[in-house]
């Protein structure tokens, strides 16, 4: 990483984003339940705050009215934690507060270093932990019941032997 710059996504980060987006789309196949996209796509959460979730889900009615504009609402955001202390703090603290303030129903944190997925659900304006899922678990949320992420499978993407 260059001094003073934000960390750029690594190969592993992008493999995980691609895996999550593909699995998410497969879980919705054949249903009319919204749209899954992946970064880069800026979401204006509120004035002076724009985020680009790694993977995002828009429930019906959440998409922008004009397809040439940018969304202002996202229903589920997934972030793959990038390397470094600052990136971890941003994903676990800043984004958690920002996504909750913006009314994001679910926020999933995929952590390749700790080899876990944390699923947070919005309750009374804050994100509460729905579950911390480790190797041997399947991560699930409340918004899309068909979405199940096998933690061991996604974490294998970071194994050197792959």
In angstroms, rounded to a whole number, what is the distance separating the alpha carbons of residues 96 and 10? 22
Domain-located, residue 118: yes
Domain-located, residue 5: no
84: CB partners within 8 A, 6+ apart? 1, 7
The CATH number that applies at residue 118 is: 3.90.1570.10
Predicted confidence (pLDDT) per residue in 13-26, tens digit: 999 999 999 999 99
Residue 10, phi-psi category: left (phi > 0), alpha (psi -120 to 50), beta (remainder): beta
Predicted confidence (pLDDT) per residue in 73-113, tens digit: 999 999 999 988 999 999 999 999 999 999 999 999 999 99
Domain-located, residue 69: yes
Q: Which residues pair with 57 in a beta bridge?
A: 36, 76
Predicted confidence (pLDDT) per residue in 52-68, tens digit: 999 999 999 898 888 88
Domain-located, residue 2: no
The b/e string for 110-142 (b: 16+ C-beta within 10 A; e otherwise) is: bbbeeebbbbbbbeeeebeebbbbeeebebbbe
pLDDT tops 80 at residue 141: yes
Domain-located, residue 1: no
Per-residue H/E/C for 41-72: CCEEEECCEEECCCEEEECCCCCCCCCCCCCC
Domain-located, residue 43: yes
Domain-located, residue 131: yes
Domain-located, residue 18: yes
Which residue segment(s) compose the domain that 29 sits in? 11-158
Domain count across the chain? 1
Of 33 and 96, more confident: 96
In angstroms, rounded to a whole number, what is the distance separating the alpha carbons of residues 40 and 66? 18
CB atoms inside a 10 Å sphere around CB 79: 27
In angstroms, rounded to a whole number, what is the distance separating the alpha carbons of residues 55 and 34? 13
Using 50, 70 and 90 to split pLDDT, how confident is the model at 39? very high
């Amino acid at each position: 990483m260059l001094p003073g710059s934000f960390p750029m996504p690594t190969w592993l980060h992008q493999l995980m984003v691609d895996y999550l987006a593909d699995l998410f789309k497969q879980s919705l196949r054949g249903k009319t339940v919204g749209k899954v996209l992946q970064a880069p796509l800026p979401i204006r959460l509120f004035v002076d705050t724009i985020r680009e979730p790694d993977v995002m889900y828009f429930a019906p009615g959440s998409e922008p009215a004009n397809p040439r504009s940018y969304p202002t609402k996202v229903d589920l955001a997934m972030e793959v934690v990038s390397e470094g202390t600052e990136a971890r703090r941003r994903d676990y603290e800043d984004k958690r507060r920002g996504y909750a303030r913006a009314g994001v129903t679910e926020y999933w944190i995929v952590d390749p270093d700790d080899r876990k997925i944390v699923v947070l659900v919005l309750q009374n304006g804050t994100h509460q932990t729905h579950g911390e899922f480790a190797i041997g678990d399947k991560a699930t949320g409340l918004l899309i019941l068909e979405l199940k992420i096998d933690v061991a499978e996604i974490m294998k993407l970071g194994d050197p032997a792959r």
